[in-house]
Amino acid sequence: MSDVKYSQEHEWISVDGDVATIGITQHAAEQLGDLVFVELPAIGKTVAPGDEAAVVESVKAASEVYAPLSGEVVEVNSVLEGEPGKVNEAPEGEGWFLKLKLSSPSELDGLMDAAAYKAFVDEQE
């Protein structure tokens, strides 16, 4: 398993070669509550850091999932469109959102490791 990185927007990023799998963290899933809808990007869409990559709606709120890295969407977890609850069940596993072919792998350097992310979350609370 590759190293997992985290963004300040509560996304996790797992990189394998030049492809990054992206989802929301357990913390984000808990904050959102039960998801009732997930909108995923089109395959082939190009995103830059901070661009909207997906939309989630829960019983509490609607929220955007932002791209933590730049690249091209090469795969989406289409299971989520029919079963958005998968995100709540396993946000850092089967509840992943999309895979990006990275255009600037050096952007990973700006992300947090697990310890830094935990400290970031603790600081927010």
What's the rounded mean pLDDT across residues 5-33?
A: 96
Residue 2 is given by DSSP the state P
Question: What three-state secondary structure class fits 19?
Answer: strand
Q: Where are the domains of the chain?
A: 4-103
Q: Residue 1 has what pLDDT?
A: 42
Single out the residue of 3, 73, 80, 64 nearest to residue 32, CA to CA. 64
Mean residue pLDDT of the chain comes to 95
Percent of the chain surpassing pLDDT 70:
98
> Is the domain 4-103 a CATH 2.40.50.100 member?
yes
Beta bridge partners of 22: 13, 98
pLDDT at 89 over 90: yes
Q: Please state the rounded mean pLDDT for residues 76-103.
A: 97
At 44-60, the pLDDT tens digits run 999 999 999 999 999 98
